[in-house]
Chains A and B, each alone.
Chain A
Amino acid sequence: MDRLKLATVWLGGCSGCHMSFLDLDEFLLELGQRVDVVYSPLVDAKEYPEGVDVCLIEGAVANTDHLELLERIRRCTRVLVSFGDCAVTGNVTAMRNVLGPKNAELVLQRAYLECAQDNPMLPRAEGIVPALLPKVVPVHEVVPVEHYLPGCPPPADRIRAVLEALLEGRAPALEGPQLKFG
């Protein structure tokens, strides 16, 4: 049987969803038998490959790098899963949007100038530090998404339920308290 080609990414997220993923504990061993992790912050892949079956996307879309990567992910992947509240709703990452059209500028100024103790300076490195997007958005506002896995972070059993369904070729059917945000 072909192994499922699984990828995970974190965009504008805290990586907490990935920590929760690691909370799968023994199931990870089983998972390791049934999937090939072809791209992930947890493994050593430099470029997002083609022909990916499932990608778990953590984090909201907050800078130009995220946008670029997401476009590539969508083109190269069959099933996208918005993984965690930041990907599903924007969550904490999107809170800067309330500051209005100049929110990106304002948060950079606050973090790197007003609150800096030594060497106040806005980070700038052409081609290395990506620009912040004027508005942080959930993943599905940029590309269509097949499934949603809410939670901050989603508890491990919720992640497992989704993975098991996808492995068996079913659509994950989270319901009730399994859909709770936060």
Chain B
Amino acid sequence: MAALTLTIDGKPVSAPAGTTVLEAAQDAGIRIPTLCHLEGVYDVGACRLCLVEVAGSNKLLPACTTQIAEGMEVWTDTDRLRKYRRMTLELLFAERNHVCSVCVSNGNCELQALAWEAGMDHVRYPYQHPQLEVDQTHPLFGMDHNRCILCTRCVRVCWHIEGAGTKNVAGRGADCRIITDLNQPWGESDSCTNCGKCVMACPTGALYYKGVTTGEMVRDRRKLEFIVTAREQKQWIA
């Protein structure tokens, strides 16, 4: 596999052909914010937080799905990108009911962390306050749609790591919902294997373990990476 060289934020980086810009940046210790990206599952380029500027292109490209090219000049942290990232996060917070103070994931939430990283001290857009349900029918897990950002990590994990195909997306636009099977209460699902991988994958407090306190809501995302590495590369990395 040929090794290509490129520069990211002025820093020369080399990586094998077929690597994504995100992977190359991570290997070089350069942090690009992400939300819909989850180690071990394929990328969808949906959250738009990882957009980067590439010299010679007037389009912003998602680092998670863009493959590196020889001589590529990538900029990950310009004023323009920071402005767009902050606006994206503000749109997310205004879209549903993200009340950090009463959320079980307060302090262990990727959305919350990205917000303060981006310097978001308030949301300039009017809050939409949709009326959304909380599904507590499953014996072990809960789903609070108020906190869901539709990153679809739970869906991808359920289909491509567990293989159960329980979680899916229904609806369109702001009416999208993460559903269980044929839009049934989670507790009545025939396909759910109770593996909890979806909860492990969720970046916010939308999917949570029942009976767990805020302080305990630390998720071991590396467990998912471990499973995929074990399956695909026959390597057991503890």
B interface, by DSSP: helix, strand, loop or mixed? loop
Q: How far is the CB of A12 from chain B (nearest CB, A)?
A: 14
Given A92-B101, A92-B102, A182-B106, the answer on whether A97 and B127 have CB atoms closer than 8 Å is yes
Q: How many A-B pairs with Cβ below 8 Å? A: 72
- Whether the Cβ atoms of A89 and B129 lie closer than 8 Å is no
Question: Is B60's beta carbon under 8 Å from chain A?
Answer: no
Q: How far is the CB of B187 from chain A (nearest CB, A)?
A: 23
Q: How far is the CB of A104 from chain B (nearest CB, A)?
A: 13
Question: Is B100's beta carbon under 8 Å from chain A?
Answer: yes
Residues of A within 8 A of B182 (CB): none
- Whether the Cβ atoms of B101 and A177 lie closer than 8 Å is no
Residues of B within 8 A of A178 (CB): 116
Q: How far apart are the CA atoms of A180 and B130 in the complex, in Å? A: 23
Given A89-B127, A141-B126, the answer on whether A95 and B119 have CB atoms closer than 8 Å is no
Residues of B within 8 A of A95 (CB): 97, 99
- Whether the Cβ atoms of B101 and A182 lie closer than 8 Å is yes
- Whether the Cβ atoms of A91 and B116 lie closer than 8 Å is no
Contact of B100 among A138, A148, A152 (CB under 8 A): A152
Residues of A within 8 A of B185 (CB): none
Question: Is A165's beta carbon under 8 Å from chain B?
Answer: no
Residues of B within 8 A of A135 (CB): 129
- Whether the Cβ atoms of A85 and B131 lie closer than 8 Å is no
* 18 CB < 8 A contacts A-B: A85-B101, A89-B123, A92-B102, A94-B129, A97-B127, A98-B97, A99-B131, A100-B131, A137-B126, A150-B121, A152-B101, A175-B119, A179-B120, A181-B112, A181-B115, A181-B116, A182-B101, A182-B106
Q: How far apart are the CA atoms of A182 and B104 in the complex, in Å? A: 11
Question: Is A80's beta carbon under 8 Å from chain B?
Answer: no
Interface residues of A in 154-179 (CB under 8 A from B): 174-179
Interface residues of B in 75-134 (CB under 8 A from A): 93, 97, 99-103, 106-107, 112, 115-117, 119-124, 126-127, 129-132
Q: Which of A141, A180, A182 has the most CB of B within 10 A?
A: A182
Q: How far is the CB of A100 from chain B (nearest CB, A)?
A: 7
Q: How far apart are the CA atoms of A148 and B121 in the complex, in Å? A: 6
- Whether the Cβ atoms of B103 and A180 lie closer than 8 Å is no
Given contacts A85-B100, A89-B127, A150-B122, 16 further A-B contacts (CB under 8 A): A82-B122, A92-B99, A92-B102, A98-B97, A98-B131, A140-B124, A145-B122, A152-B101, A178-B116, A179-B121, A180-B100, A180-B107, A180-B116, A182-B101, A182-B103, A182-B112
- Whether the Cβ atoms of B126 and A179 lie closer than 8 Å is no
When C-beta atoms are compared, the residue in chain B nearest to A152 turns out to be B101
When C-beta atoms are compared, the residue in chain A nearest to B214 turns out to be A182
Q: How far apart are the CA atoms of A137 and B127 in the complex, in Å? A: 8
- A interface residues (Cβ-Cβ under 8 A, vs B): 82, 85, 88-92, 94-95, 97-100, 135, 137-138, 140-141, 145, 148, 150, 152, 174-182
Q: How large is the interface on B (under 10, 10 to 19, 20 to 34, 35 or more residues)?
A: 20 to 34
When C-beta atoms are compared, the residue in chain A nearest to B103 turns out to be A182
Q: How far apart are the CA atoms of A58 and B210 in the complex, in Å? A: 33
Contact of B119 among A88, A90, A98, A179 (CB under 8 A): A179
Q: How far is the CB of B117 from chain A (nearest CB, A)?
A: 7
Residues of B within 8 A of A90 (CB): 127
Contact of A88 among B102, B116, B122, B132 (CB under 8 A): B122
Q: How far apart are the CA atoms of A124 and B117 in the complex, in Å? A: 46
Residues of B within 8 A of A140 (CB): 122, 124
- Whether the Cβ atoms of A98 and B130 lie closer than 8 Å is yes
Residues of A within 8 A of B126 (CB): 137, 141
Q: How far apart are the CA atoms of A176 and B115 in the complex, in Å? A: 9
Q: How far is the CB of B15 from chain A (nearest CB, A)?
A: 30
Q: How far apart are the CA atoms of A138 and B67 in the complex, in Å? A: 43
- Whether the Cβ atoms of A174 and B121 lie closer than 8 Å is yes
Q: How far apart are the CA atoms of A91 and B106 in the complex, in Å? A: 13
Q: How far is the CB of A92 from chain B (nearest CB, A)?
A: 6
Residues of B within 8 A of A91 (CB): 99, 101
